[in-house]
Structure 1
């Protein structure tokens, strides 16, 4: 069977890496980004660089990865949007960070034109992509998922179909609520161990080797030990998802006391000025509440995310 032609909209830090994986897997990709310079390096790997989203309408499958509700709606229906010309892709796969409401609006607009729509939010960041450990939750028509699954599988190690409509958005929100609860708990127990005389490096080495250790605890260990807070995800973004999760809990009648407490802790970190750094800065606030100034330990710590072998 002939591989589908691919369009790609949005080549930020994540989108660029995922489009590159499709190119490396042999797919014919044409890409567009609002800031063209962020897109052009893909040409070295065989991508065609498009002048507008509309120029991708003849592609069979178009992927979108933009950062906000308004951006998604703009690339669909704005000036030179994907659906503003006569051509139509067969399938649109959206991996943007958007609300379920915006996704539902776009889905209705797309399906009214006879185009299938798949919501496919991801879990990971560029380093996770490089390690081949990205995961995807997808929702929409099962036939759309079956068509997109081989392409989504090039992104990492796990692609899960979670149902119809916007259920994948709820899965991503639930995932990020858990992310917040885990990082806050991890900050608390790491500070507890340190106040009792255990180095953070030693405590996290023990934890990561235990049945409670995970790829996430291992991945965040260098930040917690050496206080390098280069952002992978900020407290502001994390709190936005906690708020979405709490709203979903209220709507669905699911009490979420741990999420509510975590939301308060993250709000305090934001109030303390930790808005641009990585959300692992929660450990700084936990140390402050514990009455001491935390210091970098400056020791090598493996994050468990070695790049895939070529």
Structure 2
């Protein structure tokens, strides 16, 4: 830890909490965000705000946690991006949920400069980030993973090396495909329980301890019941992930009808101006279909 300067690019809902764990662990941290004010809570704790170029030139390890594959490409591969100024022997870890193909391109470009890259998307939402209990799925070399893992332990509870570059992103898309099934099952169950006259909070507490229990029901179910649709994970980012999952499924010649259906439901939320709400706003689709209101409106 002594003498190791870490760079962090992207201090949004999850990235900010993850970076805070590094500060608490005693790491020297430089941070960058396109909206500087979103890094204020980190600089107030001792982090230094710096440009992407400064971070690349002064940090031995750099983490990125941005929104979309186009943002990853801009921050890492474009002129003025991280790879332009990172020193040989550096480590670059991308926590963004992004394209497996892009992760492979980044790894190939980095290899030519003797820079290790790990694609390491995460799962666990805002709660997992705050509590340091994220699941982190990694692709890249064994050496790069080993170096990254020691640092990621500060905010990750389950960290696995899944294989070559791109394997972390494939694992995250698998996670999102499974999550779509959990989400639609959860909101349909709430709609049924509401219509049947059950106490929703009592039902959630009881069922969460049984075979139907899931993080979606345990964490997001109570938020829906109290009308809290603030994002732990934005709908617009989930739609991005589902779109990539559908693209990869087509490439792999897979038919995944559940994924396709739930993707359409989330697209309807975007069409209704709800892209910046949390994924639990899926309840609104079922409410509109059934002409009922389960989640209170503020």
In the aligned structure 2, how far is the partner of 1:248 from the partner of 1:78? 24
In the aligned structure 1, how far is the partner of 2:98 from the partner of 2:147? 23
What are the residue-to-residue correspondences of 1:102-121 with 2, within 5 Å?
102-121=102-121
Residues 277 and 39 (structure 1), Cα distance of their counterparts in 2 relative to 1, 3 Å cut: closer
Q: Deviation at 1:103?
A: 2.2
TM-score scaled to structure 1, two decimals? 0.86
Contact in 1 for aligned 2:182/2:216 (Cα 8 Å): no
In the aligned structure 2, how far is the partner of 1:258 from the partner of 1:76? 34
Counterpart in the other structure of 2:241? 241
Cα deviation code 1:94-133 (max 9, x no counterpart):
1123222322222222111111111011113333222232
Q: Deviation at 1:89?
A: 5.1
Counterpart in the other structure of 2:124? 124
Cα deviation code 1:183-211 (max 9, x no counterpart):
11111121112212213223222211223
In the aligned structure 1, how far is the partner of 2:240 from the partner of 2:40? 32
Residues 25 and 148 (structure 1), Cα distance of their counterparts in 2 relative to 1, 3 Å cut: same
What are the residue-to-residue correspondences of 1:51-90 with 2, within 5 Å?
51-85=51-85, 87-88=87-88, 90=90
Contact in 2 for aligned 1:62/1:89 (Cα 8 Å): no
Cα deviation code 1:2-46 (max 9, x no counterpart):
574322222223222212211211222222233333335423333
Instruction: Say whether 1:96 aligns with 2:96.
Output: yes
Residues 194 and 57 (structure 1), Cα distance of their counterparts in 2 relative to 1, 3 Å cut: same
Counterpart in the other structure of 2:32? 32
In the aligned structure 1, how far is the partner of 2:142 from the partner of 2:6? 20
Counterpart in the other structure of 1:202? 202
Per the alignment, in what secondary structure is the counterpart of residue 231 of structure 1?
A: coil
In the aligned structure 2, how far is the partner of 1:124 from the partner of 1:53? 30
Cα deviation code 1:259-282 (max 9, x no counterpart):
222223333343444333222222
Counterpart in the other structure of 1:13? 13
Counterpart in the other structure of 1:230? 230
Contact in 1 for aligned 2:239/2:266 (Cα 8 Å): yes
Contact in 1 for aligned 2:121/2:138 (Cα 8 Å): yes
Contact in 2 for aligned 1:53/1:75 (Cα 8 Å): no
Gap regions ≥5 residues in structure 1: 299-310
Counterpart in the other structure of 2:154? 154
Question: Would you say how many aligned residue pairs link Structure 1 and Structure 2?
Answer: 298
Contact in 1 for aligned 2:194/2:294 (Cα 8 Å): no
Larger radius of gyration: 1
Residues 288 and 37 (structure 1), Cα distance of their counterparts in 2 relative to 1, 3 Å cut: closer
Counterpart in the other structure of 1:139? 139
Moved more, 279-288 or 165-174: 279-288
In the aligned structure 2, how far is the partner of 1:50 from the partner of 1:270? 34
Counterpart in the other structure of 1:289? 289
Per the alignment, in what secondary structure is the counterpart of residue 159 of structure 1?
A: strand
Per the alignment, in what secondary structure is the counterpart of residue 157 of structure 1?
A: strand
Contact in 1 for aligned 2:18/2:132 (Cα 8 Å): no
In the aligned structure 1, how far is the partner of 2:37 from the partner of 2:240? 29
Contact in 2 for aligned 1:57/1:88 (Cα 8 Å): no
Cα deviation code 1:35-81 (max 9, x no counterpart):
33333542333323323334432422111122222322332344543
